[in-house]
Structure 1
Amino acid sequence: MNNCFSYLLIFSVLAGSMEKFNLSCGANPTYGFTAVPLTEANFKLQKPYDIPLEQRYSYVNGVHKLWVYADDKPHNPSSHTQPRTEIRMSGLDYSSGVWQFEGYGFVPNGTSGATIAQIHGAAHGATTLILRIYDGEMRYYSKDLVATDLYDKWFRLNIIHDLDKGMVTVFIDGVHKFEVKDKGPGDLYFKCGVYAAPANISYYMESRWRDIKIFKKC
């Protein structure tokens, strides 16, 4: 075997090993994406309609802190939905292409039955993706397990929605954790915060977020 071929073979093996290592031990999900410029106007707050914002939200040292109680009112007097305090990524609605949400989240021990991130909109139904925390575990709606042991720690959440392939992919700390078919096209946008589930919720619910970014694949 000549030396040139031997070097190429070794390089190929090493490259394949590195690729597997990156996928399992913390890849960069934003590779190949372009960051969308964000301003304060892109962060639209939703909170119980009868309470001042500062009683359910704070922004200190780059950290968005959002909390809600189980007996709070919905975000609108005409709404019959559960209470929420959420950031709705405004002005970034999409209906085609490949989009990505990235943010560092923190959920304190005790928060349970709360949606902390979602893709709102679908061909049928209100949402494409719901990520809920139950007893420190993240679940797809109240079903499939996405991640465990998330209480009292900062974690990096990446959600990729590929409408061309009809797929949604979730990464935690750069590790591929979950993938599911989407629910068709619609007026879609990302949200994060706390939104009470229909049942089995804690009285107090809170999440914190920092370094929120939106990416698009061009």
Structure 2
Amino acid sequence: MPLSQRYNYSDGVRSFWVYNKDKPFKPDSGTRPRAEVRIKGHDYSSGIWQFEGYAFVPTGTSGVTIVQIHGAAEGATTLQLRIYDGNMRYYRYNLVATDLYDKWFRENVIHDVGKGKITVFIDGEEKFVVNDQGPGDFYFKCGVYAAPARSSNFMESRWRDIKLFKK
């Protein structure tokens, strides 16, 4: 599918959207529909790294990963932050933040590889701390990536002011 049918960049805002019935990004892939940005040139396997961006998720978008850290000793990712019914969860499990529909919020994810810890902040408030999934070659992604189950028909997120920091 042409990029313009699932992604737009205008006035500093990156908009991503997919439909639940969209095909995977390549024919032989078993993954769900996605439209994401990978932060290239910032792969890491050590140090302390931070992703920051302002996100907007419209009402109705549910069952979708909006931020992830790709790479792990076990599995493909060490972190997925998903939206279900306006609330953010770590994968489909732990509640991270509530009432996120229809407003811009600042998302910060800090990954301290040496300590194996990931900390999530929403609007400057620490919301969640978790162990990572073990060593790996990591990178950040954001956008929309349909969850394995319970995804809405239409999924969208918007992003602005995306930055990466390394300590």
Scaled by the length of structure 1, what TM-score is found?
0.76
Shift of the alpha carbon at 1:122? 0.1
Q: For 1:108, what is the secondary structure of its paired residue?
A: coil
AA matched with 2:117? M
2:35 maps to 85
Q: For 2:24, what is the secondary structure of its paired residue?
A: coil
1:108 maps to 58
Distance (whole Å) between structure 2 residues aligned to residue 157 and residue 145 of structure 1: 15
Shift of the alpha carbon at 1:90? 1.2
Counting matched residue pairs gives 167
1:171 maps to 121
Distance (whole Å) between structure 1 residues aligned to residue 42 and residue 95 of structure 2: 28
Say if 2:66 is the partner of 1:147. Answer: no
RMSD, aligned CA? 0.5
Distance (whole Å) between structure 2 residues aligned to residue 169 and residue 76 of structure 1: 32
Q: Which runs of 4+ in 1 moved over 4 A?
A: none
Unaligned runs of 5+ in 1: 1-50
Deviations 1:151-190 (A, max 9, x none): 0000000000001111000000000000000111111000
1:209 maps to 159
2:67 maps to 117
Q: For 1:200, what is the secondary structure of its paired residue?
A: coil
Compare the two structures and name the one with the higher strand fraction.
2
Scaled by the length of structure 2, what TM-score is found?
0.99
2:84 maps to 134
Larger Rg: 1
Unaligned runs of 5+ in 2: none
Compare the two structures and name the one with the higher helix fraction.
1
Q: Higher RCO, 1 or 2 (CA under 8 Å, sep at least 6)? A: 2
Distance (whole Å) between structure 2 residues aligned to residue 67 and residue 82 of structure 1: 13
1:13 maps to none
Say if 2:24 is the partner of 1:59. Answer: no
